[in-house]
Homo-oligomer: A and B are copies of this chain.
Amino acid sequence: MSGKTRQRILTTALALFNEQGESNVSTNHIADELEISPGNLYYHYRNKDDIIEQLFQRYEERMDAALTVPDGRAVTLEDVWLQLHLVFECIWDYRFLYRDIINILSRNRSLRLRFARILKRGSGNAHAIMKGLNDSGTMRASAAEIEGLATNILVLATFWLNYASIHGEKDEQRAIQQGIVQVMMLVSPFLRDSERLHLHTLSAAYAS
């Protein structure tokens, strides 16, 4: 059972970080919650940052998996919907990172570079998908408009769950659905009339 405790530490740390914020959870808290000794925890991980890096690794792999562009076929609005779901679910599951992102990145150069890469990938992804919608005739926007739109999608996706949290929204599914609707509202003005009407119908049902 070599990796058993090691895994339990990660799982419990993630839960506590998400609930109480990374800076409010000490290694002692994590050990307490697991009913193991602090010494035992330090046998498995060098320090708190080591735990955070392992969690970041999982986050990174999951976000990389979520950020894909349909290959060899036209992009549809359903693709956007699905991808936003995957991205928001990932952010939710690792929301402690986003809640304290500037602090966490400011004390760890490696994570800073890796998060910058994720953001860049997210930006490129939003770009490619918007361009795909444009090429398939689903929407119509200039290059400059797609550029600005991709940036706004990225910022909104990155910080929406923080915003929802400040508003006291505790329900994961509701928060995510509202986030998706808001991102869709960014795209909506550029859609063909028929697509836009269809989207508004879907959104109204979805956000209720």
Find the B residue at minimum CB distance from A119. Answer: B166
Q: 0/1 per residue, A16-29, Cβ < 8 Å to B?
A: 00000101100000
The answer to whether B102 and A165 have CB atoms under 8 Å apart is: yes
Q: In the assembly, what is the distance between CA of A59 and CA of B183, in Å?
A: 29
Q: How big is chain A's contact interface, by range?
A: 35 or more
Query: How many copies of this protein are present in the complex?
Result: 2
B155 adjacent to A185 (CB under 8 Å):
no
A185 vs B150: C-alpha distance when bound (angstroms): 11
Of listed A24, A145, A151, A200, residue having the most chain B CB within 10 A: A151
Asked whether A159 is an interface residue with its Cβ less than 8 Å from the other chain, the reply is: yes
Q: Is the CB of A103 within 8 A of B24?
A: yes
A162 and B165 contact, CB distance less than 8 A: no
Interface string of A115-143 (1 = CB under 8 A from B): 11001000000000000000000000000
Q: Which residues of B are found within 8 Å of A102, using beta-carbon distances?
A: 21, 99, 162, 165-166
Q: How far is the CA of A165 from the CA of B24 in the complex (A)?
A: 23
Given contacts A23-B23, A189-B190, 16 further A-B contacts (CB under 8 A): A24-B103, A99-B103, A100-B103, A102-B166, A115-B166, A119-B167, A148-B182, A148-B185, A148-B188, A152-B185, A154-B163, A155-B160, A155-B163, A158-B159, A159-B163, A186-B186
Pull 6 A–B residue pairs with CB atoms less than 8 Å apart, ordered by A.
Answer: A100-B100, A116-B167, A152-B156, A152-B186, A159-B159, A159-B162
